[in-house]
A and B are shown apart, each in its own frame.
Chain A
Amino acid sequence: MPKFVADSSVSPTGLKWAAPASGGGLTLINTGGTTLSGASTSITSIPGTYKNLHIYIENFSMGSNNNNGYIQFNGTTSDNYAFAAQRRSGGSSEANATEGNNDVGIYFISVAGTTAEGGFAYLLVPDYAATNHRKVATGVSYTINSDSPAAYYIMNPFGVLQNSNSAITSVQVVSNGTYAGGTVYVYGEN
């Protein structure tokens, strides 16, 4: 929130805008973004110089309908993740929760199709470079399935990489099928 500080040299009231506190800016880590392809796209050698990571997965589409999408950290592929998500489907007007323990990733899409149609996912990974706690992520996503059920899906996933306090140095965007398109942007926030 902007603040006033007393300074009689700049106005009759002695008030001026205070300089904003430093921090909060986003820096794109993977220059230009990375196009999604194949079953997994990995951003590696992420520097530990930021406070938080913001992951934007834009306009993605799948090689087949009914595919899912999930993220992993540090190439950890075994059953080390727990996640939950509220999900709403436009097709059946459902509002339900999906969850998993000992899964292979944090699922941000349960159903996606072959046409992008504005598919988007956002995930925040706070304090990702710390080495004294587990790493959590939370976000929101939108996608649309082109097959039956032809519907849009919105989710707000949250999850954790268990069993490790290591700093996150890589992020994987994975599907149980393949990505036909889309771009992942990984931003660092000070």
Chain B
Amino acid sequence: MTNPLIKIYDVETDTTTEREMTDAEFKAWDDGNKAKAAKDAAEAQAKSSAEAKLEALGLSVADLKALGF
């Protein structure tokens, strides 16, 4: 499998280089993306859980917004 491509434009030399990420660059990129995806998933889960609790109380997100939250 090939690594994703990156592009580099050097202002000083006015040159553009395109190449594959090195394995180290790929690992850093991939690890970061996975960490962000995990955080987003946890955030979505927490939001969904909170909405369910609100609904059980007969409230909605719109109700909270109406109150200025």
Contacts and interface: CB of A to CB of B under 8 A. Distances in A.
A42 B25 CA distance: 13
B14 A31 contact: yes
A43 B11 contact: yes
A30 B31 CA distance: 29
B4 A39 contact: yes
Nearest to A67: B33
Contact of B6 (A40, A98, A105): A40
Contacts of A77: 25, 28-29, 32
A104 B32 contact: yes
Interface of A: 29-31, 34-47, 68, 77-79, 95-96, 98, 100, 103-105, 107, 110, 174, 176, 178
Given A44-B8, A107-B36, 18 more contacts: A29-B11, A30-B9, A34-B16, A38-B5, A39-B21, A41-B9, A42-B8, A42-B9, A44-B9, A44-B11, A47-B12, A77-B28, A98-B43, A100-B36, A103-B32, A103-B35, A104-B31, A178-B5
13 contacts: A34-B16, A35-B7, A38-B5, A39-B4, A40-B29, A41-B8, A42-B8, A43-B11, A44-B11, A47-B11, A95-B65, A104-B28, A178-B5
The 10 closest A-B pairs by CB, nearest first: A104-B32, A38-B5, A45-B12, A39-B4, A176-B33, A77-B28, A40-B6, A45-B11, A34-B9, A41-B7
